[in-house]
Chains A and B, each alone.
Chain A
Amino acid sequence: MKVAILGFDTTLPGRVLVLELDLYRGFGLGLAVFSLILALFTFSTLGLHPLLALWVGFFVTGLSILLTPSGVHYGFRGLARVVEASVENVVRLVESLGVRSSALYVVRGGSVYIYVYGGGVSLEDVLGLGVDRVIVFVRGSPVVIVRSPLDFPDVEGGLCYVLEDVVVDRLELSESITCSESSGLAVVEFRGVRSKAGFSLSGGVGSIYAMAVATLASRLWGRPVRVSSEVWGDGRVVVGVEVVEVGEKPAV
């Protein structure tokens, strides 16, 4: 359920900005505004009365609710099973075709697609391909094109924030993450990992964690991305991704 709150966009004269909030965050905004009004009224009539502290406390709590991202209170546990199965299917398809050289994550038509290609195919060749067919042959080498099962179109914000939102909170695939993002590079450590989906194809499409980082990085950055490294340890995995520049020699 949504509540719409109307306001005026000062940067665009004459236009009305509609800010949409769900019921939970709308309640937070209402609580904050209501508490602020009561605090001002109490201060103007009673001065520094303990009742003022109560309104301050509720104002802060209302702000905290307002700043809580939408969707965190919805259940996503069942979704993780579907995503894991999809990742396994993608990995098995690619493995069965013997295409194990490199994978490129590209946004096409609002969705993130994975291009898995061999050593004889250049980056320009791959970027020139559409997404109509699952397998395309370029100079005799197969290129597998599949839609990423870890693409979440509704995400927004920085990569590290989005990864924690999707992998830790929504899918519950790991207990926590440590993340570093800087100008087309990102290194993410997942601790307390709970899935081995896609693990067998390290170096190709990557595991479910590499796929998540590369997919979301490609979506948020809007540029082609590949997995540069993936190292598994005791209950943890470290994934590195990087933007691929056109004209660059493809990794083999």
Chain B
Amino acid sequence: MERSLLSNILLVLAVTVTTWALWSLGESRVDAYTSLYALEYTIVKAVLRPRKLTYDVPWLILLALFTIAVAYRIAGVLGWLG
């Protein structure tokens, strides 16, 4: 199977399974979900190297969400959020 097609199939499966698993564990933080999506997407991208027409926009979106989530958590630990 062509690797770009395989990577998209794996992404759909990963998103579905991750959501089901975290939901089952009672996880309610949205950033936990998006962080795992970012991790899975990065692994699939590194292993299968799927081709894209332009820049890998989905990956940039996930990285941005991950960065915001981490910054928010750090700010919370440092007490900057009040």
Contacts and interface: CB of A to CB of B under 8 A. Distances in A.
A binds B: yes
Nearest to A165: B51
Nearest to A170: B2
Interface residues of B, number: 30
Nearest to B41: A60
B30 A60 contact: no
A201 interface: no
A69 B18 CA distance: 27
Contacts of B50: 64, 68
A220 interface: no
Interface string A62-84: 01110111001100000000000
B66 to A, nearest CB: 12
Given A54-B15, A57-B19, A60-B62, A73 B2 contact: yes
Contacts, number: 85
B57 A63 contact: yes
A60 B61 contact: yes
Contact of B61 (A49, A63, A73, A165): A63
Contact of A49 (B22, B30, B51): B30
A50 interface: yes
A40 interface: no
Contacts of A157: 53
A64 B58 contact: yes
Nearest to A28: B8
Contacts of B27: 50
Interface string B47-80: 0001111101110011001000000000000000
Interface string A154-184: 0001000100110001000000000000000
Main secondary structure of the interface of A (DSSP, over half): helix
Interface in B23-41: 23, 27-28, 30, 33-34, 37, 41
B4 A69 contact: yes
Contacts of B28: 49-50
Given A56-B34, A72-B2, A169-B2, A61 B54 contact: no
Given A60-B62, A61-B11, A53 B5 contact: no
Interface string A207-222: 0000000000000000
A64 B51 contact: no
B52 A68 contact: yes
A152 interface: no
A194 to B, nearest CB: 17
Given A63-B61, A64-B8, A68-B5, A53 B19 contact: yes
A4 interface: no
Interface of A: 28, 48-50, 52-54, 56-58, 60-61, 63-65, 67-69, 72-73, 157, 161, 164-165, 169
30 contacts: A49-B28, A50-B27, A50-B28, A50-B33, A52-B30, A54-B33, A57-B18, A57-B33, A60-B11, A61-B11, A61-B12, A63-B61, A64-B7, A64-B8, A64-B41, A64-B50, A64-B58, A67-B54, A67-B56, A68-B5, A68-B51, A69-B4, A69-B51, A72-B4, A72-B5, A72-B51, A73-B4, A161-B51, A165-B51, A169-B51
